[in-house]
Amino acid sequence: GAGVSQSPSNKVTEKGKDVELRCDPISGHTALYWYRQRLGQGLEFLIYFQGNSAPDKSGLPSDRFSAERTGESVSTLTIQRTQQEDSAVYLCASSLVGGLGQPQHFGDGTRLSIL
Amino acid sequence: KNEVEQSPQNLTAQEGEFITINCSYSVGISALHWLQQHPGGGIVSLFMLSSGKKKHGRLIATINIQEKHSSLHITASHPRDSAVYICAAEYNNNDMRFGAGTRLTVKP
């Protein structure tokens, strides 16, 4: 069956450019999460969407990072004026409902490399 | 200091051995997740616990709320179990904190 789909799978760009990462959650999943995993480090929570509620942006590392989600469908994570420290794998996950320990289904990630 | 501590960081076992990975967290949580990250980077959610014990095949996860501790056990380990196992604590505000992971290598 269709899982969480992320695109692109790989992205290489120059420092200072803006990038946009896309996540298609599992159909019917109301909750969507973005995470980041830098090389050799653990997962970091970035942002959480639940239905039409205001997103929890508490994990975004700087104001260069923003994310949007239209209803309960696609989400985009945008990084403006990229820096080398933004190089990481960006993972998206969705769950049927948010919170209270619902199982999360992860995409394969977007590997972002900033030159 | 990471709020979620995993041990060991690295673990090498022979095929067939019983494996335990431990996770401790510092404050009350709404749930505890165990994730498996394959060498290619893909992540699979193994368990989500808020109390007690869950079993799936050769995998068993337990949690002790009073002691703020969870364990992931693998019985009859197999080389295909080689992966990084990550513990994640989910809090009431839906924030999640991740352990650094345990890199498991099972040798044939």
pLDDT tens, residue by residue, B42-80: 677 888 888 999 998 999 999 999 999 999 999 999 999
User: Is the four-CA dihedral B104, B71, B99, B92 of positive or negative sign?
Assistant: positive
What is the average per-residue pLDDT within B82-90?
90
Average pLDDT for chain B: 88
Give the pLDDT of residue A84: 94
Pairs across A and B, CB distance < 8 A: 66
pLDDT at A1: 53
Given a cut of 70, is residue B10 above it in pLDDT?
A: yes
Cβ–Cβ contact B42 with A under 8 A: yes
Which strand (E) or helix (H) includes residue A76? strand A75-79
- pLDDT value at B2 more than 60: no
Query: CA B23 to CA A104: how far, in whole Å?
Result: 19
- Between chains, do B30 and A100 touch, taking CB under 8 Å as contact? yes
pLDDT at B93 over 80: no
Q: What is the mean pLDDT of residues B15-30?
A: 92
Residues 34-93 of chain A whose Cβ lies under 8 A from any Cβ of chain B = 41-45, 48, 50, 56, 58-59, 89, 91, 93
| Amino acid found at B43 | I
Given a cut of 70, whether residue B94 has pLDDT beyond it is no
Compute the distance between CA of residue A56 and CA of residue B30 in angstroms, rounded to an integer.
17
Can you read off the two tokens belonging to residue A31? 């909750």
pLDDT at B42: 67
Tell me which residue of B35, A18, A1, A19 sits closest to A10, measured CA to CA: A19
pLDDT beneath 50: ranges in chain A: 100
Q: What is the chain B residue with the closest CA to A36?
A: B98
Partner A contacted by B96 (CB < 8 A):
yes
pLDDT of residue B1: 46
Q: Please tell me which residue, A77 or B92, carries the higher pLDDT value.
A: A77
The C-alpha of A85 sits at a distance from chain B's nearest C-alpha, in angstroms, of: 19
How high is the pLDDT of residue A100? 47
